[in-house]
Each structure stands twice: as structure tokens, then as C-alpha cells.
Amino acid sequence: MEAGGSVIHIAGRVRIGFDTTDGAGNAGENDVARPAKPVLDRMHATPMTDPLSNDTPNDTPTDGPDSTAHQSGAADSGADGAGRRDADPGRPVDSGAGESTSGNSPSGDSTSGNSPSGSDSDDQGHRGYDLETGLLARVRDWVDVFPWVRLGQTLRIAASPSMLSLTALAMAIHFLGMWFLFGSEPLVDADRLPPQILPPPILTSPLAELESYFVTLSPTSIYWNSDRLGGGWSGVAILWTLLVWVPPVLWLTRQGALLTAGRTMAGNAMMSRHVIARTPAAWLSALVPVLCIGLIGVGLIVIGAIARVVTGPAAVGWAMGLIATLVAIPGGLLLFGSLIAVPLAWAAIANEADSDPLDALSRGYEYFYRRPLHWISYGLVSLVMLVIVAAMASGVAWASELLCVAMIETVGGPPQTVEAVQFWCHKFPTVVSLTLFWAMVGGVYLLVRCNAGGQEVEDLWQPKPPAPPSMPELP
């Protein structure tokens, strides 16, 4: 045999023998570092099928200079990579688990071959780069990078007739009660609302009313907002406001949280049962800060009385003032934090499995003081969306008023009808703004809860559905 190698199949295994020279005395192109065994140097053998390989036998004769790499390294690829030698002696030896460097080429070039699985290595394309590291490993959607995007889903409530009707009903009941108690609606200063809306104050009117309702819904405002009605009457106004507005607030915050979590709004029957069961806890959570601040206020009164009785040098007055300040600081924490903690507590009562008012208040104060940057950023985003919606609602109210007044005056309608049209058109932007505001409170609560405790926004408690009625018994 003048060629430089042979292929021997012994007991299902492939063994390859190589000469270091060809017939002309030159170095063969398949010269490798491992020498062939002397016994197998010049042997010819009939190719046999390898039971461990999917390769079919090739009938190409083994004599000749172009057959040195015939049927090489296809079955014995898992031992140590020695059977996957590259034909080029200048390239490093690749001992990969699933590649073969020799193939059936007429020219003896063995740069491609069959892998043990039968697939050609040339068919394997570039699979890209692995970017699943760091932040990108946790990013699956835009809401993972910009959580406030979820708040945009609450805009659906601003266009929900049932939700707007709920807010309008609460406003009407509240207005009638305040009119009965005080002869007017003292929540909104008269100078804030213009007599007409031609052209409308697109932002000032609904946002001013929204601020008034929000302040009166804050029970601790009795300590710093009592000049509007006087201390006692201000307390009555706050109690009436809480009595009327807490159930709609629970309803809206629950629906807003559902939309923020990517779910659909609950049905009216389920929400009615849910709100009725959670309303007492929400009332109690609003009154607890008032009682705690009141106890601190009693202590300050005692300190003031002692300072009045005890006379002495100025150092005594300064000492009493220091003691009063130290006692007042916890009250200031409760009073200032209640502006945000109480609405967040209502959202917690509406959306958590446990409706404990103290636990809800602790959540509200914790989120307020531990995550100020988060709730401020979410609040700014909510404010921008609220301003846009209020502006659009004001524009709709302005156009509606123009149309109604023009048509009524065309037929000579009474002035009382025109005044009623103007009144309700003035209230429409406030209804839309209040509905969207409390829905966003529920969404902001879920986002801040995720930042503070790591609980996913989608992890939202769902009440158990009522048990289906049992089948009637047959007689």
C-alpha cells in the first residue's frame, strides 16, 4: 500500500493508522502527533458499520492519497478527544464533546465532518450573546424598568360610567349633608370657583375642589384646619365626610389596584360585599391617629399649665419649652405622616387579606417615611396624568355647558335650569378627578409596597368567591 493510512474496524470500534510520509516521501497532510501502531500500518480492511454511530459506511477505497481521513473519528469521540484531531498541524487540537474535524472530502481536506448526533457543524450558526446578567436578567417587560407605567392602566376608571356614578352619588350625599348641617358647602372656598366657565379655568377649579375634599377626608386636619368652621363644627364636618366617603374610597382603591396589577375590575356585587366588610376597619384606621395626637396634645396642655404655674428665672421657661418640644415631636410625626399614611392605610385595608386597621396604619407610616423618593416619584407621575385628565374633563364640561345653555336659551328656558346646568357642569371635572385620584392611590400603594417589601405588584389578594348554592334534594 502506497497510501499513507488505513481504517480498521475492530469489534465495533474505529481505529486509524497513519504514515508520516506518502508515496513520494513527503510528509502527509494527515500527519498527527500520535503514531499508528506497527501492526495496523499497512492493513486493509473492509469497512464495517459502527453500532454506536449513526454514520453509514462509505465504500470509497482506502488506497490512494485522498483517502487518509476516510471515516475518521465519528464514534470514538467521547474518550479524550484524541480521535478529533484537526488536519492542520498548525491549529490547536479541539477536544469538544460534540464535534468532528474530519469528513468525506475528495481532496482530503478534513475541516468539516459528522458529529456523533449526525448534524453538520457548518449548520450551527451564531446564537447571539448572553445578555442575561445584572439588571437585564430581571427585565421581562417595560414595567420592570419603569414601574410607574402601570399607573396608566388606572385611566380606564376615569371613563367608567359606574365608577363616575359612584363618585357623583357620594358627592351628592355629602353636599346634602353639609347643606343640612351648615346651610352651605364649606369645603370649597367661594373665591376659588369662578361664577362662570367661559372660558373655563381648566385646571384650577377641579384641582382646588380635589384639594378641599382631600384635606377634609384627612381626620387629623382638625388640628390645623379648624379655622374654616371652628374646632367643634370642623370635627362634625370631618366625621360626616368620613362617614360618606370612606366606602367609595375603598371601592375605588380596590379597583385601581386591580387594574395596576394587570387584572380586570371586580363586579359590583362582589365589591359591595367587600366594601361593607372592610368599612368599619377603615373608619377606625382614620380615627386612631386623631386619638393618639389628642393624647399627645393633652400632655402638651399639662406642660403648658405647669409652665404657667411655675414662676422663676427664664431658664425654667426654656426648660419647659424643651420638654414640650420633645413631647410634640412624636405628635408631629403622626400629624404630618397622616396626610399620606391614612390614604395608604385605606388602600391596604381594601387590598390585603388582613384588614387590621393598626397593621394598615403601620404600613402607611412605614411607606411614607421609609420610601419617600418612591412615593413622591409615583405621586408626580400621578399628578401629571391627573392634570391631563382634569384638563380634558374641564374642556368637555365647558363644551357641554355652552351647548346646553345655548339650546335652553333658544327656547326661552327658565334661569333656574341654566343655573342647574352650570352647577353640574362645574362638578363634572371634580367627579372625574376624584375618581381617578383614589384609583391611583390604590396603584401607588402596590408600587410602594413592592419597593419596601419586595412583594410583587401582581401578588394581589383575591377574596374567595361565594360557595355555589347546593342542589335541591329530590323528594
Least confident range of 58-62, 238-242, 286-290: 58-62
List Cβ neighbours of 359 (8 Å cut-off, separation of 6 or more): 348, 352
3-state secondary structure of 465: coil
Q: DSSP string covering 309-348, please?
A: H----HHHHHHHHHHHHHHHHHHHHHHHHHHHHHHHHHHH
d(CA 243, CA 181): 14
Closest by Cα among 348, 370, 351 to 359:
348
Mean per-residue pLDDT for 324-338?
Answer: 92
Question: What confidence category does residue 359 fall into, taking pLDDT thresholds of 50, 70 and 90?
Answer: very high
Residue type for position 387: V
d(CA 140, CA 111): 41
* DSSP-derived pairing of the beta strands 5-10 and 13-18: antiparallel
pLDDT for the residue 308: 84
Report the b/e string of 55-69 with b at 16+ CB within 10 A.
Answer: beeeeeebeebebbb
Closest by Cα among 67, 65, 126, 78 to 102:
67
Question: What confidence category does residue 103 fall into, taking pLDDT thresholds of 50, 70 and 90?
Answer: very low
Residue type for position 362: S
Which residue did the predictor score with more confidence, 199 or 391?
Answer: 391
Closest by Cα among 95, 53, 89 to 71:
53
* pLDDT, the chain, mean: 73
- Asked whether the whole model's pTM tops 0.85, one would answer no
Question: What confidence category does residue 68 fall into, taking pLDDT thresholds of 50, 70 and 90?
Answer: very low
